[in-house]
Homo-oligomer: A and B are copies of this chain.
Amino acid sequence: MPQGDMPRRSWVAAANDPECDFPIENLPFGVFSTGSDAPRCGVAIGDMIVDLAACEARGLLSAEGTFAAPRLNDFIALGRPVWDEVRARLTELLAEGGDETLPLVAMADATLHLPVRVTEFTDFYASKNHAFNVGALFRGPENALPPQWTHMPIGYNGRASSVVVSGTDIHRPMGQVKGESGPEWTACRRLDLELELGAVVGMDSTMGERVSVAEAERMIFGYVLLNDWSARDIQAWEYQPLGPFQSKALGTTISPWIVTQAALEPFRSEGAPREVPLLPYLQEERPGFYDMTMGWTMNGQPMGETNYNVMYYSSAQQLAHHTGSGCPMRVGDLLGSGTISGPAPEQTGALLEMTEGGKKPVTVNGEERVFIQDGDEVGLYAHAQGDGYRIGFGPCTGTILPARD
């Protein structure tokens, strides 16, 4: 828990509840609509949303008209000085004694949309517990951890077109799997979640020029919760030698709110201890993790819970590595942290690990589960605990519908 002043208070009463995800210290960005109005940008405060487009129209904020867009990309592209200025101004306007005429919308009356148009999506593999557990199930314990794992952040390009916002139903995927007498085309039988944190890239980089870890950190706009739905049977059959493909393309659910780096800064933390020294291009001047509880629920029941600071590579290290070959990054790129798992089964971020590959069922509201069944709702949550307040993301949920072929 960071040391510091007493929590600030807002004239939006719900924001002062110490269990509210959206106190005045948070101010996450999203996209919302009400009734038949067009989607536009907003900031969450307590149980309300600040209508940023209306604020700019009234001259209270300045962002070159970007808040009227149905995505945050244009605002984000204005750069860090504008992000900071808008945050500072909103803190002033929302504090007790601020501007109580600010245009607010009740969150209960709003529809939340995908906050950014996801330019490209990359998924990493940065929890050693997860990498070992899953590696052992796919390849046996002796080959579980790939030899380069402690030397660099392993990642793969995912599919951006299937990233959806919390609340979007997901169809169980069809796919090709290895059957007893040969390949079969079937509805997935081993459907899983993955508890992750997603970093939203806020600045372009130049093709042919890599960025340092420190520069990479400054390129990150903020973070979302990210559930990388995974079809384990399809994955097992397809993933060698070119990596996961259709097993990860059924859908990736993100939270509607992007929590900024600024809001998480007081919770900066060391990650997992380094086992071997990193090459200089991956070394960080300061720890790049956050002390933040992260967990998931199934049909409302708490399942796994851990902390983001179990991770071995930070988003900034992942981003720096991503540019290593000269690969250009763009505003709206989304980097998944990899599944976040602690060492114990109740700390894992995927059913594959929690049930030891489907061998040890878990109980959900009195029913047995090894993998996700049709109708199951999976939710993610995260919060960083301050002194009298907490920084949260709100819900990130998805319900699985039956397969259709």
A residues 168-216 touching B (CB-CB < 8 Å): 170-171, 173-176, 178, 182-185, 207-210
Closest B residue to A148 by beta carbon equals: B237
The interface residues of chain B lying within 8 Å CB-to-CB of A158 are: 157
Smallest CB separation, A357 vs chain B (Å)? 16
Smallest CB separation, A312 vs chain B (Å)? 15
Is A234 engaged at the interface, CB distance under 8 Å to the other chain?
Answer: yes
The answer to whether A241 touches B240, judged by C-beta atoms less than 8 angstroms apart, is yes
Is A72 engaged at the interface, CB distance under 8 Å to the other chain?
Answer: no
Is A12 engaged at the interface, CB distance under 8 Å to the other chain?
Answer: no
A250 to B209, CA, bound (A): 10
Interface residues on A, range: 35 or more
The answer to whether A120 touches B242, judged by C-beta atoms less than 8 angstroms apart, is no
CB-contact partner of A324 in B175, B242, B326, under 8 A: B175
A245 to B125, CA, bound (A): 13
Cβ contacts A267-282/B at 8 Å (1 or 0 each): 0000000000001110
Smallest CB separation, A211 vs chain B (Å)? 12
A115 to B374, CA, bound (A): 43
Closest B residue to A249 by beta carbon equals: B327
The answer to whether A161 touches B329, judged by C-beta atoms less than 8 angstroms apart, is yes
CB-contact partner of A183 in B152, B170, B404, under 8 A: B152
Is A301 engaged at the interface, CB distance under 8 Å to the other chain?
Answer: no
Closest B residue to A321 by beta carbon equals: B246
The answer to whether B173 touches A326, judged by C-beta atoms less than 8 angstroms apart, is yes
The interface residues of chain B lying within 8 Å CB-to-CB of A244 are: 242-243
CB-contact partner of A174 in B147, B243, B324, B329, under 8 A: B324
The answer to whether A328 touches B162, judged by C-beta atoms less than 8 angstroms apart, is yes
Cβ contacts A52-72/B at 8 Å (1 or 0 each): 000000000000000000000
A residues 231-271 touching B (CB-CB < 8 Å): 231, 234, 237-247, 249-251
Is A139 engaged at the interface, CB distance under 8 Å to the other chain?
Answer: yes
A158 to B156, CA, bound (A): 8
Known: A139-B241, A148-B183, A207-B162. A327 touches B246 (CB 8 A): yes
